Amino acid sequence: MAISQRQIQKQQQTLSPQQIQMIKLLELPTIMLEQRVKQEIEENIALEEDERPAEEGEMEENISVDDYLRDDEGSGYKARLNNYSKDDKQRPINISEGRSLQDYLIEQLGYRNLSERDQRVAEFIIGSIDEDGYLRRDLESVGDDVAFTLGIDISTDELERLLGIIHQLEPAGIGARTLQECLLLQMAQRRMDSAAKRLANKIITSHFDEFVKKHYEKLISRLGVDEELFRDAIDEIKRLSPKPGNLYSEDGIDNTPYIIPDFRLDYADGNFDLTLNSYNIPEVKINRRYVDMIRNMVSADGSVAESNREAVQFVKSKIDSAKWFISAIKQRHDTLMRTMQEILSFQKEYFKDGDKSKLRPMILKDIADRTGLDVSTISRVVNSKYVQTHFGIILLKSLFSEAMQTESGEIVSSYEIKNILQSCIDDEDKRHPLTDEALMDILNSKGYCIARRTVAKYREMLSIPVARLRKQL
């Protein structure tokens, strides 16, 4: 086949660097945006933090680098919305860190009469324990790492012996490799002074799989005990901790995730007040020192000396980058406020008192049509963003729900169906919990045309286990 050349004209949409930067900033929640702004200040010499309070009505000026060379005043745009008073100051967040779980275990290990070799290996094993208290690595791999890291050749039996010493430390169950071993370690540190405790230990030791699957009738028959004693044994097992590492906590250690809301919504006297939470985000502006530097390098006729040309080009690129970043921050704020305003308008009845039954069916396309933005943009706005209201902090994504149609033709939100499911499961007979098919029949009788697989999907979204695992005595 002959090789030939030809010209083809076609339209192709490409994203500019500014658009890519805007998309990335739009996805960031408030706490990550603060880190991103500080990172940009460190990396770009032409960008600096503006410590002056934002003035009312201050607007961004669209000027180019050439304008910088001619403008004596320069450009300084506040990348923060004016939603706080001039007297407010940025307060640093002081984070103090206490001892970790590993430090606590090593401290206890110091009270054991171990040789220096055993102490080093035991500390290495402790370092391999996860935050929830489990050792999820096999001892052969730990032994290989000990040989490579510490230069100590140790057998699996010796590692098992040292792990047995760690098992005796507090909290009980630490260093377990399975849930069954974790529960047995905790039972071993309790006094077997009742029939219920002895039965609980027997269930965990010999009938753990049946216990996990809640085959209670089979266990009662196999163990030959009455239902009351069996129920007491189950209660004893429930007092044990499946994650012993979570029991350890000191001042300065808190695994609870902190949520910083991106929006603040106040409601008073029938009026809403929506603001963007930008309190800890630094204000940024163009560094005037580098603008003056370029001005000094440019002659009166606009020419640049050969020796200064590379420096001028470098500083200009940094100023352009800073200007793009400031513009992207402003556009991000505008897009977030524009989207949140439409969500508020769409779900106004819900935001008055937080009653989920008042949530209207809403999908991303509904807000995209109202704002004139693309669906992907709305998705980035609501992803990992929170709004603080007078009834709590709400994840924006949780406000979106599918529309369901009843037999009468009424359009309802999927939240309404989830509430009915939750109520049915809360009121069910725990000895004979409702199956997904039974729940489907209940919903159908109420006029909601829904399939069993949809019931299972909503049940999983509510973090509710299947009927067999909800069974109780």
239 in the same domain as 283: no
Between 365 and 470, the more confident residue is 365
The residue with tokens 């998705």 is: 379
Under 8 Å between Cβ of 330 and 382:
no
User: Does residue 92 belong to any structural domain of this protein?
Assistant: no
Given a cut of 90, whether residue 420 has pLDDT beyond it is no
How far is 414 from 401, CA to CA, in rounded Å? 6
Q: What is the pLDDT of residues 283-328, one digit of tens each?
A: 888 888 887 877 777 776 667 677 777 887 888 888 888 888 888 8
Please list, in sequence order, all residues whose beta carbon lies within 8 angstroms of the beta carbon of residue 211, skipping any fewer than 6 positions away.
Answer: 203, 204, 219, 237
Q: Is the peptide bond before 171 cis (omega within 30 degrees of 0)?
A: yes
pLDDT score at 202: 92
Q: What is the pLDDT of residues 258-295, one digit of tens each?
A: 778 889 999 888 899 998 887 677 788 888 888 787 77
Lowest mean pLDDT among 13-22, 70-79, 451-460: 70-79
**Residue 234 in 3-state DSSP?**
helix
Q: Which of 186, 221, 247 is the last residue of a domain?
A: 247
More confident residue, 1 or 469: 469
Last residue of a domain, which of 247, 273, 293? Answer: 247
pLDDT over 70 for what percent of the chain?
A: 83
Report CA-CA distances (Å) from 414 to 365, 400, 450. 17, 9, 11
Strand partners of residue 412: 404
Residue 95 lies in a domain: no
**407 in the same domain as 386:** no
Residue 161 has pLDDT above 90, yes or no: yes
Reported as a single tens digit per residue, the pLDDT across 127-140 is: 999 888 899 988 99
Indicate whether 62 and 122 sit together in one domain: no
Domain identity same for 308 and 445: no
Residue 188 lies in a domain: yes
pTM over 0.75? The answer is no
| Within a domain: 415 | yes
pLDDT recorded at residue 94: 42
Q: What is the pLDDT of residues 314-367, one digit of tens each?
A: 888 888 888 888 888 888 889 999 999 999 999 898 898 888 778 888 888 989
Summary count for the chain: helices (H), strands (E): 20, 8
Q: Give the domain extent around 130.
A: 101-247
In terms of domains, do 54 and 189 share one? no
Same domain, 133 and 220: yes
Residue 163 has pLDDT above 80, yes or no: yes
Whether residues 235 and 357 share a domain: the answer is no
Task: Note the pLDDT of residue 409.
Answer: 66
For residue 36, give both structure tokens.
Answer: 């991103």
In a domain, 218, yes or no: yes
pLDDT in tens, 19-70: 777 788 888 888 788 888 888 888 888 888 876 554 443 434 444 445 444 4
Judgement on whether residues 394 and 409 belong to the same structural domain of the protein: no
Does a structural domain hold residue 89?
no
Tell whether the model's pLDDT for residue 402 goes beyond 70.
yes
Residue labelled with tokens 């609501």:
382
pLDDT tens profile 408-418 = 666 777 777 88
Pairing of strands 386-389, 263-268: parallel
Higher-confidence residue of 173 and 295: namely: 173
Backbone angles phi, psi at 312, to 5 degrees: -65, -40
Give the mean pLDDT of the chain: 80
Domain boundary among 227, 247, 267: 247
252 falls within a domain: no
What pLDDT, on the 0 to 100 scale, is given for residue 248? 67
Domain match, 108 and 235 both? yes
How far is the C-alpha of 209 from the C-alpha of 211, rounded, in Å? 5
Residues 177 and 296 in one domain: no
- Do 110 and 79 sit in the same domain of this protein? no
pLDDT for residue 165:
92
Output the pLDDT for position 250: 47
Number of domains in the chain: 3
- Residue 81 has what pLDDT? 39
Residues 130 and 238 in one domain: yes
Residue 435, SS3?
A: coil
Q: Is residue 272 part of a domain?
A: yes
